[in-house]
Structure 1
Amino acid sequence: MKIDPRTVGAQVRMRTPSLTPLEARVVDTMTGRADLDLTTSLREVAEEAGVSDAMIVKIAKKLGFNGYRDFREALVEYRQSDVASLHAEISPEDSAADIVRKVFNTAVQALEETMSILDMEAFERAAALLHRARNRDFYGLGGSAQIARDVAHKFLRIGLRANVQDDAHMMLMSASLLGPEDVVVAFSHSGATSAVLEATRLARANGARTIALTNYSNAPLAEIADVTLCSTAQGSPLLGENAAARIAQLNIMDAIFVAVAQRDFPTAEARLAKTMRSIGGKRDK
């Protein structure tokens, strides 16, 4: 089956952290070639990177491709796609309009690529687990905690309570009390945040089901979770990749919220009306 060109950039970014520094440098060399096309030879790339032909083939396979030719073709097609053209670096000379366009396009790219790689089976499993859970504990630090708070707020609107823990000690205490009927959603862009990892391991050891939301499919957090949902975003020296990735993760969780509500729509609708009435008088006229 032919690969969707929109997934290529995400596939490379998600697997690059598993490469050695040398291998990552070789990938940067290849992806940084503006003249890369279907005629670019293996020898040419290897000489430019200062490695053997075999090393290039090995790296291509570690990134999920059949070999150099498969990687080269996929990369060329990706560069020709509308999604790849969305990203542009911000420069000191940019006008306000340029900045807005580039920032918005980076977010659009993150959404398009995340949607293209989203594992629908994992998505459905996550929705099912959250719907039937007794307790829903959300773990995250910094920006990840903000995503957790956003989705916890949405769940409360339809009568599903969720606990947000953004402190290492609170996460561990929470995890120590969970059991087989409970679910943890662990938010970590890198998938390697030690406090989140430790608490998620403890929750799973106590029988709780675990869902990871991360930017890297082979991150430590993804390896210990029952279900993994991946976002993806292209890095930028000024914005970083976290900003765009947060937008993608918020959208994943918005979709999860809708999927959970849909499982008992009449009840969700009734509870939504009830919670909205409770704050109706508090809104500014």
Structure 2
Amino acid sequence: MSAPTDPRAVGPRIRMMLPELSAFEARIVDYLLRSELDERLPLKQVADRAGVSEAMVVKTAKKLGFDGFRELRAALAEYKRLPAVDLHREVTPEDTAQTIVQKVFRTAIQALEETLAILDIAAFEKAADLIHAARQRDFYGLGGSAQIARDVAHKFLRIGIRAAVFDDTHMMAMSANLLGPGDLVVAFSHSGRTAGLVDAVQLAKANGAAVIAISNYDSSPLATLADVVLCSTAQGSPLTGENAAARIAQLNIMDAVFVAVAQRGYARAEENLARTMAAVQGKRR
């Protein structure tokens, strides 16, 4: 990974690398992300607080894509000065209802800001092309990711683009074995490491289907299988984890993909939207 040029992408790119780091490397990154940091922070202090050698700190900086500790320190200091970074706050037992609402909303806002900063526009365009052109579209997701898959499939149905949703590993395996060239899997997984889902995607890929991965980690097993990876990002907290804010970011990514796909067949999308809206109009009281 090369060092990000957009300051907003520094935190997200480092967090995305966490699963690939050793325990000592992760300890260094955790200290840097959580501490008050400026360009004067000594290398020795980081090493002492993280309980590692100075050489390990420098090695970790290079693994994260920086030339060394000074470049990492400068990039993180600039990142931490951004207004959006100050939005994220941990929920505490003493928080009032008003404070809880503020913290949850601000965490979601930060996730959206940072996801926008790391979004690969070329990958976004390719994802829209694949969805628009696919013969069969199968969406895979387990747990909370299944809810995202259903929401996205519902949006596409409104404009006449059909997708099947599979939220069971056995059903995913059956789906994958029936797919082939011209077909598409869109796999939703926060970690990108869920075994049953990754196994099904691997099978679909072997059968010639294209794969889009929606994940928080671009170096995960799922991402390495995908033709296109669209990454969300969110800071975790002890109470909500990363998933809550990441879910909002993933839904927004797919909302944008939905619009891009509709644009590729605008007249047909408009006609089908009118027809599907008319179908449910009479169901309202």
Q: TM-score range by the shorter chain?
A: over 0.9
User: What residue in structure 2 maps to residue 23 of structure 1?
Assistant: 25
User: What residue in structure 1 maps to residue 69 of structure 2?
Assistant: 68
Secondary structure (helix, strand or coil) at the match of 1:138 reads strand
Q: Answer whether contact 1:16 1:63 (CA < 8 A) is retained.
A: no
User: What residue in structure 2 maps to residue 175 of structure 1?
Assistant: 176
1:207 aligned onto 2:215: no
How far apart are 1:29 and its partner, in Å? 2.1
Matching residue's letter, 2:25 = E
Query: 2:216 and 2:9 mapped to 1: Cα distance?
Result: 14
Give structure 1 stretches of 5+ with no counterpart. Answer: none
1:109 aligned onto 2:110: yes
CA deviations on 1:138-164 (whole Å, 9 max, x unpaired) are: 000010000000010011111010000
Equivalent of residue 33 in structure 1, options 20, 32, 35: 35
User: What residue in structure 2 maps to residue 277 of structure 1?
Assistant: 278
How far apart are 1:125 and its partner, in Å? 0.4
User: What residue in structure 2 maps to residue 47 of structure 1?
Assistant: 48
Moved more, 22-31 or 7-16: 22-31
Moved over 3 A (4+): none
User: What residue in structure 2 maps to residue 265 of structure 1?
Assistant: 266
1:162 aligned onto 2:163: yes
CA deviations on 1:41-70 (whole Å, 9 max, x unpaired) are: 222322332322221111112222221111
Query: 2:115 and 2:4 mapped to 1: Cα distance?
Result: 18
Give structure 2 stretches of 5+ with no counterpart. Answer: none
How far apart are 1:217 and its partner, in Å? 1.1
Query: 1:52 and 1:2 mapped to 2: Cα distance?
Result: 26
Residue 152 to residue 2, structure 1, CA distance change in 2 (3 Å)? closer
Query: 2:172 and 2:9 mapped to 1: Cα distance?
Result: 34
User: What residue in structure 1 maps to residue 138 of structure 2?
Assistant: 137
How far apart are 1:239 and its partner, in Å? 1.1
Query: 1:106 and 1:148 mapped to 2: Cα distance?
Result: 22
Residue 13 to residue 174, structure 1, CA distance change in 2 (3 Å)? same
Query: 1:2 and 1:259 mapped to 2: Cα distance?
Result: 26
Q: Answer whether contact 2:139 2:163 (CA < 8 A) is retained.
A: yes
Matched residues, number:
283
Q: Answer whether contact 2:192 2:222 (CA < 8 A) is retained.
A: yes
Query: 1:278 and 1:46 mapped to 2: Cα distance?
Result: 64
User: What residue in structure 2 maps to residue 9 of structure 1?
Assistant: 11
Query: 1:64 and 1:170 mapped to 2: Cα distance?
Result: 40
Matching residue's letter, 2:210 = R
Query: 2:146 and 2:34 mapped to 1: Cα distance?
Result: 34
Secondary structure (helix, strand or coil) at the match of 2:230 reads strand
How far apart are 1:33 and its partner, in Å? 2.4
Secondary structure (helix, strand or coil) at the match of 1:185 reads strand
Query: 1:166 and 1:182 mapped to 2: Cα distance?
Result: 18
Secondary structure (helix, strand or coil) at the match of 2:131 reads helix
CA deviations on 1:99-127 (whole Å, 9 max, x unpaired) are: 11100000000000000000111010000
Matching residue's letter, 1:220 = P
